[in-house]
A and B are shown apart, each in its own frame.
Chain A
């Protein structure tokens, strides 16, 4: 009997493995693109909703930011996602499934499993099949997420540049202006759990982790050319400059002189606002010896000088050591009992 039980347990173990594998390989219902596993203890549809709720989908904005003074115009506000708050949302949702005390007992028993399943699912809501590996490039398992952070951006940047790129990295090792060839596949990349415009000028972004550095990049509409207008100039006498590069070594960046970028003032056509005199500008650039442009007209060299790259705004380290939430009042049951006993004594004495 002893031996048979062991055999039986081994068989059961094998079965569990097979079962788990089968569950992951079941076909998805049509139209579902996220990576949420099919039914666990909680049916997949419910997990999906709860996971979306965890990412604050559908939660009225006034519940997220109770006062407009918290995000004035032209601000970016970083935050951590309070797990207790999102758990409260989920508990509220689950409470719709209970009718009587027996249900509640059952649910309370199951709650740990439910929470674990939703923990795992919330990282998969925004994930397509193709990028849902069991382990990522670093071998870190994709499982229950840890701390979630993010930011709220309220600015004309959101309405004016709809294709704004947001990227976050777990390490801040690259120079701010460096080209990152593997910007999307880097193992340091912190995934976005959610990126959504809540209003025309309000952007909500949630990160799967706490990034060390966040990059906001101008949308890349191809390569662009342009000048730098002087923002402080009198509009009636608007001036502009172009920083120049050495065409023999264009990747070295702008030519510096005494620590300052060498610039060329841009000549305009009189009476025609914004129309640049390209010929004169080109000649002015040729006149700077360091550009190595040579005397002949060369539109490639000229274009090189006029290049403007998409701007990348870098937000640095935002990590704060995790501390207990100092605000929440907690009192030990024992202490409470003592107080009651004391009160009873006092009252009894009266």
Chain B
């Protein structure tokens, strides 16, 4: 296990058996010791075992790719960084031998990462593997995919951009990382990774004019198979130079490869009508319509005319000029046999490719170091007037049209300030709360208004009103505010500050009184010690019936119901239990006056309730003295739901009840 935060580098990880078909032959020699003729060899056929060591050849399985740099599809300044691909299988770059005959342990890797700008080569997908290599090369039938991709480039590109043979070794290495380092291991199983580097630093296209920003240039990185094509690479670079010309990055691009398809239908092309006229001649098959796609004319030197023609507006009839056609074909390097002689085309199987764009925005480090660091409110004094009026506190002066239409200037500062501020705290125990934005307007000593807080108040309000759900929730909460307040009041009355906290805590449950009662008061009683409030009933009793009932005889019950016991006996005997239904039981009409109609009882009930509540409050507050005798009991509480219910019932009774 590597130390956390560290990783180890190895030059290579060569498999014991490179990929390929093998035959293991087992032979044995049996010598028979015959008594007369002496030892004799018994002929036995050799046994051959065929085995194939498999390895990716035309396609890198996606699960083998751990990461790529630059990340696929990204845009950035990668000028100083070498593109690379990290592969999970550490032996992969050495699993095939591109140079048969090289001494063991010194075979170069068969993989190379080449980075080409758009137009320096073409990628063709979905091709039979046998056609994915240059003409005349045969990789044999072993293929891991039915269809493969290949990269077609000219020999000039290979000579300029592809790694040289003596560099291949330097471009692959093995890395061992700490598996717990999620950023590097990324879920690898053994922590050993193979890395293939490219030797090309991607560069952006040169700026359109001197001093301007470099133009983004799109690159594609190809991981290619070099099997049997090692000899097309330069053996070594003979004349290295310690500088390169960053303004010529697009020089290798073949504009013909970038040209869009002609704006013509199949019919027009077949009939050479309309826009298809320009594509008559084979050599101009991909005429470019406008010069805007060509940041740099690649048609410099001898072919300036043809190049200019190829990218310029198309003139009907010019296609007929044999001179132009030849020149264009020369430049295009395609189709015309003449051109093919000049530039040899090579194909390499592509295991994986990804695109990225290199910009000239300046690297991370340069941008970071050039950042202007300061506190908010720092203003560049050197800019041309009018300069922003900034106070030391971060307030800035803004034009302000007042409500009366006067143009004035006011101070404003957002929530971001260049210095710590002191938060407004409670004044005499009350935390100030503004209800309208105007309450937060201030006039500062210079006579101007400071509308910072008022403006922020308004935006807070508007943001809230922007969300109907939230407004609904606020409204619901507002209705329940009353419940919360009442719970708090009750809690205050009940006991000391601890219980006040409880009141709030309880109110916070659902903000409703019934929840308070349910979750707090009932729970509290449940958790009370057994005899805190008085003797409790035994948990289990033998019989729950009063003794009087237990002694009651059947005849007594029947007599109480006004029935004749003997008659009932007879009926039961004759008809069974069903017979009981025939026995009538005397009943009496219930009183029709509601209890609430009894005004005297109601009053008494009300008074008792009031007294009891006061009692509770008194005892809770430890107020020992009772109200002076003879005075009306003090009602310490506002009317609550019970009061209201009783009151309503009483009112109903007055309307409906009898005149008593």
State whether A74 and B241 are in contact (beta carbons under 8 Å apart), knowing that A19-B520, A227-B201 are contacts in the complex: no
CB distance from B68 to the nearest CB of A (A): 8
Inter-chain contact B69/A299, CB cutoff 8 Å: no
State whether A326 and B393 are in contact (beta carbons under 8 Å apart), knowing that A19-B505, A43-B477, A58-B463 are contacts in the complex: yes
Report A87-133 residues with CB < 8 Å from chain B CB: 87-99, 103-104, 106-113, 115
Binds B, one of A134-142, A265-273, A340-348: A265-273
Report B354-393 residues with CB < 8 Å from chain A CB: 359, 361-362, 364-380, 383, 388, 390-393
Inter-chain contact B415/A98, CB cutoff 8 Å: no
Max count, chain B CB within 10 A of own CB: residue among A45, A83, A269? A269
B124 interfacial by beta-carbon distance below 8 Å: no
Max count, chain B CB within 10 A of own CB: residue among A80, A86, A231, A311? A80
B297 interfacial by beta-carbon distance below 8 Å: no
B169 interfacial by beta-carbon distance below 8 Å: yes
A14 interfacial by beta-carbon distance below 8 Å: yes
B236 interfacial by beta-carbon distance below 8 Å: yes
B460 / chain A contacts, CB cutoff of 8 Å: 53, 88-93
Inter-chain contact A20/B459, CB cutoff 8 Å: no
State whether A238 and B419 are in contact (beta carbons under 8 Å apart), knowing that A49-B470, A98-B435, A329-B442 are contacts in the complex: no
- By secondary structure, the B interface counts as mixed
CB distance from A100 to the nearest CB of B (A): 10
B175 interfacial by beta-carbon distance below 8 Å: yes
Inter-chain contact A222/B368, CB cutoff 8 Å: no
A233 interfacial by beta-carbon distance below 8 Å: yes
A90 / chain B contacts, CB cutoff of 8 Å: 460
B494 / chain A contacts, CB cutoff of 8 Å: 12
Which listed residue, A15, A64, A231, touches B415 by the CB 8 Å rule? Answer: A64
A212 interfacial by beta-carbon distance below 8 Å: no
Inter-chain contact A23/B367, CB cutoff 8 Å: no
- A233 to B11 Cα, complex, angstroms: 34
CB distance from B213 to the nearest CB of A (A): 10
Count class of interface residues, chain B: 35 or more
A274 / chain B contacts, CB cutoff of 8 Å: 79, 200-203, 244, 246, 249
CB distance from A177 to the nearest CB of B (A): 13
Smallest CB-CB separation from A3: which chain B residue? B532
Inter-chain contact A4/B498, CB cutoff 8 Å: no
A80 / chain B contacts, CB cutoff of 8 Å: 416-421
A322 interfacial by beta-carbon distance below 8 Å: yes
State whether A82 and B415 are in contact (beta carbons under 8 Å apart), knowing that A23-B509, A74-B372 are contacts in the complex: yes
Inter-chain contact B435/A95, CB cutoff 8 Å: yes
A336 interfacial by beta-carbon distance below 8 Å: no
Smallest CB-CB separation from B491: which chain A residue? A12
Smallest CB-CB separation from A304: which chain B residue? B9
State whether A89 and B457 are in contact (beta carbons under 8 Å apart), knowing that A8-B532, A306-B82 are contacts in the complex: yes
Smallest CB-CB separation from B6: which chain A residue? A251
- A303 to B481 Cα, complex, angstroms: 68
Inter-chain contact B361/A266, CB cutoff 8 Å: no
Inter-chain contact B477/A42, CB cutoff 8 Å: yes
Report B149-174 residues with CB < 8 Å from chain A CB: 160-161, 163-164, 166-167, 169-174
Inter-chain contact A70/B173, CB cutoff 8 Å: no
CB distance from B364 to the nearest CB of A (A): 5
Smallest CB-CB separation from A318: which chain B residue? B375
A78 / chain B contacts, CB cutoff of 8 Å: 373-376
Chain A 219-236 near chain B by CB (<8 Å), digits 1 or 0: 011111111110101011
Binds A, one of B401-409, B447-455, B553-561: B447-455
- A8 to B362 Cα, complex, angstroms: 73
B636 interfacial by beta-carbon distance below 8 Å: no
- A220 to B5 Cα, complex, angstroms: 13
Inter-chain contact A311/B470, CB cutoff 8 Å: no
State whether A278 and B532 are in contact (beta carbons under 8 Å apart), knowing that A8-B495, A226-B81, A300-B10 are contacts in the complex: no
Chain B 612-624 near chain A by CB (<8 Å), digits 1 or 0: 0000000110100
Inter-chain contact A20/B376, CB cutoff 8 Å: no
Closest 8 CB pairs of A and B: A92-B460, A267-B240, A89-B460, A97-B474, A327-B393, A85-B415, A92-B461, A92-B457
Chain A residues close to B by CB (< 8 Å): 1-2, 4-5, 7-9, 11-16, 18-20, 23, 39-43, 45-46, 49, 53, 56, 58-60, 63-67, 69-72, 74-99, 103-104, 106-113, 115, 147, 150, 152-153, 155-157, 160-161, 179, 181, 210, 216, 218, 220-229, 231, 233, 235-240, 251, 265-280, 282, 297-304, 306, 308, 311, 313, 315, 318, 320-329
Q: A69-B383, A74-B370, A300-B10 are in contact. List 19 more A-B contacts (CB 8 A).
A: A2-B622, A9-B495, A12-B502, A43-B511, A49-B467, A67-B398, A93-B460, A112-B426, A155-B367, A156-B362, A161-B76, A221-B67, A225-B197, A231-B362, A269-B237, A273-B245, A306-B82, A323-B419, A329-B445
A-B contact pairs, 30 of them (CB 8 A): A14-B527, A19-B519, A46-B477, A63-B415, A64-B416, A70-B388, A79-B416, A79-B417, A81-B416, A81-B417, A87-B424, A93-B460, A94-B474, A96-B471, A98-B478, A104-B435, A216-B368, A222-B186, A235-B246, A239-B242, A269-B244, A270-B244, A276-B82, A277-B240, A300-B11, A303-B195, A306-B82, A315-B373, A320-B419, A325-B393
